[in-house]
Structure 1
Amino acid sequence: MVFDTAIDADAFARSCRDWGVDTPCLHPGFLEDERMAQALDRHGLRSWLNIPVFCDLKYLERHPDAYAVTSLGRRAAQDWLHFVCPSRDDYLDGAIEGLRGNLARLSPAVVSLDFIRDFVFWERVALDGPSAGIEDGCYCPICLSRFEKACGEIIDRKDPSAYIHRHLLQPWADWKCRRILEVAERIFGEIGALAPGIALAVQTLPWRETDLDGAIRSRAGQDVPGLAQQADMVAPMAFTQMLGQTTRWKEQLLAHVRASTGKPVCFYVQAEALYRAGNITVEQFDAELTQARNSNPAAIVALQYEQLAARPEKAEILRKHFRP
């Protein structure tokens, strides 16, 4: 995965070839000009287009009224994460138009839907912590009105999150998941019509249905088996260091997703520490790549290029595994 659109596209493509990366994973920001697509072609690389469905700061800067509203009654904006309300049909229409343009500029081997969920900053949520403390969205008037119509109940607007979680949690979770599934179906359908044969992937939170009192459904709105039915592979964002977990936890989570969806799963490997104190040593990076290769994954996804470019000793470990 690569994020910084200011990087030298040709140097990036050369590094990928040198390290044994065959399918760089790009976000749509790299398609605003031809540099990256041309560089990948020159070096004989495939591409993976990762679409950040509801995470769209540029759109929200132009349309601030489209922000999701969180359970605390504020805009869904935390650090780099800025979330559009999932009930905004006009936003979705524009996102589909953008997708058409991106697929006209790039012929990716894989397209994945990322942020195909409701707002929650899961990277900072402890798996052994209280689910009641999770800030989620969306509780805007549009979402609340649609939910009322769907469930036939009137919600107390003084504190809608508290009211829903006390009285209507199951129908709320089901409604949120249905909306996300509808959006995924529309986007995947568009991709299939425009570029049949592309492998489809869906990014999911690293939570089981039993974790955090079912927060993957009630907070994030992700029905993982339902989303997986529309895709060829599932990419659970199972980062051990980021979440303070063990390699055994990761094995169990990926096995659970594989068993519950019937689809192959991707294996993320984190190059540098994020959100928690400590670091990831070269030896740990090497061991996790070994674990990844032994797990029969649909893909191994390294996070991220900018970190590996700054740490040549870790890039060398990548080369060791994939360019023997």
Structure 2
Amino acid sequence: MTQIRSLMVFDTAIDAGDFARSCLEWGIDTPCLHPGFLEDGRMVRALESEGLRSWLNVPVFCDPKYLARHPEDYAVTSLGRRAAEEDWLHFVCPSRENYLDGVIKALRRDLGRLTPAVVSLDFIRHFLFWERVVLDGPAAGIEDACYCSLCLSRFEKACGEAVDRGNAPAYIHRHLLQPWAEWKCRRISDVAERLFDEIRALAPGAALAVHTLPWRETDLDGAIRIRAGQDAASLARHADMIAPMAFTQMLGQTALWKEQLLADIRMSTGKPVCFYVQAEALYRPGNITAEQFDAELTEAGNADPAAIMVFQYEQLAARPEKAAILRKHFRA
């Protein structure tokens, strides 16, 4: 696989032509779009006019617009509330088959409008706000999901045990933790397999990627499985590439930590990885200097990943000195 150089973009109101020209100027060959960019043909035409490929990123269970119409399908967290944070992180319960039918219908529509080089499944997990989880902090305080009546009934049937509905999260974590983790992981892997089978049929030439949390199985008492329901090795069987969301600044970590995380994921899955580079600080105090951005791009190049994903266009467009650094690395 030739190394992919990608750039995430979110705001559908941007000028598509400016975006495509910026990608070309900065050395981005496969910009990463969410399905909102396919509601009209502007972005597809702009990328094609500059000879650029595309990466379609599917936000599987994160769907605020759907949940505004169907609030009954919200995942329910361990605190008994809807799985929603800020204006963008609103999670659908992974057991809702009607919702998944809609995801597949949307995939068929979107892949009729676009012939992507890469298709990735994002938010292919159970709800948690990992961006605010301290990696060396206590796992017990992590709010997760889904504890709705449908999920609990399905879990009871799968494990053959009854759950005390008076305080289901506490009961499960005290008495049925491993069966719960296995059930959550199996559900997510089954959904991923179903979606990837559909994508292969619709876009047989596309490379398939899956986004995972930036945690090893030993981190946070196994929270990637117990809380998020992600078994990276199982998910990797259906994908060509793993994209751990390893944002160094956001997680308060170091370049060495990131190197070790990516090596662990390569070894445990047998698949190549995507290296994320964060342009601006998020969720933690401080900032990412131009020098730090430059250094992380150097580290990305030295790591020889299958893809380098820069996060994100809107930030780079406002910081021309960082855009120039990106150009130096990608067009050298």
TM-score bracket, shorter-length normalisation: over 0.9
Q: Does 2:271 match 1:263?
A: yes
- Which blocks of at least 5 consecutive residues in structure 1 are unaligned? none
Query: Where in structure 2 are the equivalents of 1:143-154 lying within 5 Å?
Result: 143-154=151-162
> Partners in 2 of 1:64 and 1:5 — Cα distance?
25
The residue aligned with 1:64 is 71
Alignment correspondent of 2:46? 39
**Offset at 1:323?**
1.3
Distance in 2 separating the partners of 1:184 and 1:262: 18
User: Quick one: higher RCO (CA 8 Å, sep 6+), 1 or 2?
Assistant: 2
Q: 2:206 pairs with 166, 189, 198, which one?
A: 198
Q: TM-score, normalised by structure 1?
A: 1.00
**Mapped partners of 1:319, 1:197: distance in 2:** 28
The equivalent residue for 1:137 is: 145
Residue-by-residue CA offset, 1:24-77 (whole Å, 9 max, x unaligned): 000000000000000000000000000000000010000000000000000000
> Equivalent residue for 1:173?
181
Q: Which segments of structure 1 move beyond 4 Å, counting only runs of 4 or more?
A: none
Aligned partner of residue 249 in structure 2, secondary structure: helix
The answer as to whether partners of 2:84 and 2:90 remain within 8 angstroms in 1 is yes
Aligned mates of 1:195, 1:224 — CA distance in 2: 23
Q: Give secondary structure in 1 for the equivalent of 2:121.
A: strand
Q: How does 1:1-324 map to 2 (within 5 A)?
A: 1-79=8-86, 80-324=88-332
Q: CA deviation at 1:259?
A: 0.5
Structure 2 letter corresponding to 1:198: A
Aligned partner letter, 2:252: G
Residue 210 of structure 2 contacts residue 242 of structure 2 at CA under 8 Å; is this kept in 1? yes
CA distance in 2, matches of 1:249, 1:199: 27
Conservation of the 8 A alpha-carbon contact between 2:116 and 2:203: no
How many residue pairs are counted as aligned between the two chains?
324
Structure 1 SS opposite 2:112: helix
Residue 9 of structure 1 aligns with an amino acid whose one-letter code is A
One-letter identity of the residue aligned with 1:188: F
| 3-state SS, counterpart of residue 251 of structure 1 | helix
Give the Å deviation of 1:194: 1.2
Give, in whole Å, the separation in 2 of the partners of 1:285 and 1:127. 22
- How far is 1:197 from its partner? 2.0
Shift of 1:95: 0.5
CA distance in 1, matches of 2:85, 2:329: 36
Shift of 1:233: 0.4
2:280–2:315: 8 Å Cα contact kept in structure 1? yes
Unaligned runs of 5+ in 2: 1-7
- Cα distance between partner residues in 1 of 2:118 and 2:48: 15
Distance 1:195 1:267 in 2: 24
Partner amino acid, structure 1, of 2:168: P
The residue type paired with residue 247 of structure 2 is: F
Deviation per residue, 1:90-140 (Å, 9 max, x gap): 000011000000000000000000000000000000011111100000000
- 1:258-309 CA distances to partner (integer Å, 9 max, x unpaired)? 0000000000000000000000000000000000000010100000000000
1:319 alignment partner, SS class: helix
Distance in 1 between the 2:11 and 2:222 partners?
34
For 2:3, the equivalent position in structure 1 comes to: none
What is the rounded CA distance, in whole Å, between the counterparts of 1:297 and 1:194 in structure 2? 26
Structure-1 separation of matches of 2:248 and 2:202: 37
Match of 2:4 in 1: none
Cα distance in 2 between the residues matched to 1:102 and 1:195 = 11
Separation in 2, partners of 1:155, 1:16: 52
**What is the distance in 1 between the residues matched to 2:298 and 2:251?**
20
